[in-house]
Structures are given as C-alpha cells and as structure tokens.
Amino acid sequence: MKPLTPTALAFSLLFGLPTVCLAGSADVVVEGAWARASIGTSRPGAAYMTLRNMGNDPVTLVGLATPLAMMPDIHESKTDANGVSSMTPAGEILIPPGESVALEPGGLHAMLMRLQYKMVEGETFPLTLNFADGGTVNIDVPILGIAARGPEG
Amino acid sequence: MNRRSILTYGAVVSGALAVTLFIGWWRVDGPGAPEPVAQRPLPLGQMEFQLNDQGGETIGPRSLLGKPSMVFFGFTYCPDVCPTTLSDISGWLDDLGDNVADLNVVFITVDPERDTVDLMAEYVSYFHPSIQGWSGTLDETVRAAAGFRVSFEKVVTDGEDYTMNHTASVFLFDAQGRFATTIDYHEPREFAVPKIRRILTRAEEETP
C-alpha cells in the first residue's frame, strides 16, 4: 500500500472512508440507477444501473446491502435459443479498469428479495454496493412506475 | 495412366461427390432433417384448455377467435423479465393507438399457485388497459402451455422461495386463430410493432 499523504489521511479521517478504497472501488461511478415500484411487499423487486470503473485497477462487486430488502443480490436473467428465460445468482462481478457493467432489464439486475416495505413510485431507496477491496459505494435509487422501461421512465 | 482409367476415376469422383451432396441434403433439408426443437404453437381452434380471465370469467382459446391475438406467458412474482415484457408490450400497444381495440392481448401465468384471479387483475391494471391476465389450475395451465409449445418449470431458490423458468416469447395469431409469428423476448420495437400491424391488417383485409 502506498504511504498516505497528509491530505489523503485528513480526507479519509474527515469523511470516514476506508483508505484502501481510494485505490479501487472509490473509482467506481454509478450512473442511471432506477427501479420499478412494487405491488406490496410479497414480490421481489429489481434495480438497474451502470457501474463504471474510472480507475486503473480492476474492481469486483461482491454484494449489496439495503434497508429495503433482507436479501439483496445480483442476479442474471438469460433467454436461451428456445426462448426460455431463467434467472440465477450472478456471483461476483468483475469490472476491468476503464470498463463498465450494465445492470439492465433482461440481464444483470440487483434482485431485491424479502422487501421490508413497499417500493413507492417517486421515492428513492438507499443501496450500498460492496466491493472486494472492502470499499463501498452508497447510492440512492429512484423508484419509477411499475411499467417503467428505463431510467427515463 | 490411360484414357480409360482417367474416365473411371472421373466417374468415381463425381459419383462420390453426388452421394455426399445427397447425404448432406437428406440430413439438413430432406426427410432426414432433425425436428426443430422449438415447435410452432397449434392453431387456437385446436387447443384445449379452460382458464379464468382477470374478471373471473371462464375463458379458453376459442374465446380469442374473431380478432387477432397476442399471447405470452409469465408470472407476477418475476422481478425482471415479466415486467419488462409487459412494459415493452404496453409501449407497442401505445404505438398502435386505436388499432389495438381489434386485438386480444393475453398474459397467461405459469405460476397458478401464487397468481390468483385477483392478483392477476391487480397486476395487469398497472400496464396497458388492453392486456388481460389469465390464470387457472395447474392442470389447465399445463394444457395451455402444451398448446402454445411453451415450457415452464418451478425452480426453488431459497427455502420456500421459488422462481419460474418459462418461455418468454410473444405469440401472434390471426383472427382465425392461425399462428402467424413470434416476437422474441426483448425484440426491438421497430421489429415488433410491424409484426403486430401485419396481423391487424390481415384481419381487416379478410373482413368482408
């Protein structure tokens, strides 16, 4: 690990950021996050976004946390040659330096299982992305209508 | 090598070539070709099943005859593929405007255990008003899926939770119930909308 400059040290103390994340996950930018409103709390929800790694090191997304759902996880929908769709946990997501990973309808998505409260259109919910380097990225995800097709609605 | 043996060689080589070509044809396009894995749905008039629409009315494949139809399968506990399909379809129907009055649009659940008539009614109410939601017993769901050549399977994810793998294509039928074509999952609007328009125009042309 590189020795800390006094400024970086002051910065990390001031904002309580773990210093290691200045190298990897701190360079992750989340764009265009959105989710669909839910009907009640019995069905799982899904959230979408693009993760961009602006840094020089690969980063690995290892998990999610949110007060909205007891079991948030990255899942992937796939449709085979016969048109049959299935969904499975996607495991860890590696984002090489300079590249981005899209969580979008019909592919990777943040699967929000065991909703603790209803996802209401017009509100947002906090989502924490956990990375392999121990760093986290916190975002607020806007909740759009049930029939939304993308971040624009 | 004399002239005679050259001719013999030539005949053998071209004969072998002909046999190879024939075998190739037989296995790829001819009677020996494998059955396509994804079969076409039956005509609606030949299907046999009884489900309930979102109002609780008993309906079946023959309820769709007389108008062109768009039918697809899914389940309301599906967080990604199904709301995406229903939103895509709602968008296509918006594009078609008033013409959709002449179209049956049916969403059939592959998860009758959880998707009751009331749940289906609530779910479809969030999408385009033309979309109907059909549900029924597991036996009748199996019969419906068989008619459309749709496959579905319950997959346990965690303890009591489960998800459904299922065919996510959208099937188009003409007013006589003949299968017209398929719109694949997530097919772009510029391909999907003309396909629907085609079954609608065909219905108009055939109306005396």
Binned at pLDDT 50, 70 and 90, residue B15 comes out as confident
Backbone angles phi, psi at B4, to 5 degrees: -65, -45
pLDDT mean over A128-133: 96
Q: Read off the tokens for B122.
A: 């609530």
* Beta carbons of A147 and B90 less than 8 Å apart: yes
Binned at pLDDT 50, 70 and 90, residue B24 comes out as confident
Helices (H), chain A: 6-15
* Confidence at residue B144, expressed as pLDDT on a 0 to 100 scale: 97
Superfamily covering domain A16-144: PCu(A)C copper chaperone (2.60.40.1890)
Whole-angstrom distance, CA of residue B95 vs CA of residue B188: 13
Closest alpha carbon to A98 in A27, A18, A23: A27
Mean pLDDT of chain A: 87
Of A77, A82, A86, the CB nearest to B38: A82
- B194 min Cα distance to partner chain A (Å): 20
Closest alpha carbon to B62 in B34, B89, B43: B43
Q: Using CB atoms within 10 A of its CB, is residue B129 exposed (0-12), middle (13-18) or buried (19+)? A: exposed
Interface of B with A (CB under 8 A): 37-38, 76-81, 83-84, 86-88, 90-91, 122-123, 126-127, 151, 155, 158, 161, 163, 165-169, 182, 184-186
Which residues in chain B are contacts of A147 at CB distance < 8 A?
83, 86-87, 90, 126-127
Is the reported ipTM for this assembly greater than 0.90? Answer: no
Of A75, A105, A113, the CB nearest to B161: A113
What digits encode the pLDDT tens for the residues A50-108?
A: 999 999 999 999 999 999 999 999 999 999 888 899 998 999 999 999 999 999 999 99
pTM: 0.80
* Residue A87 Cα distances to B129, B171, B202, angstroms: 28, 22, 37
Q: Are B71 and B168 in contact (CB under 8 A)?
A: no
Whole-angstrom distance, CA of residue B28 vs CA of residue B86: 37
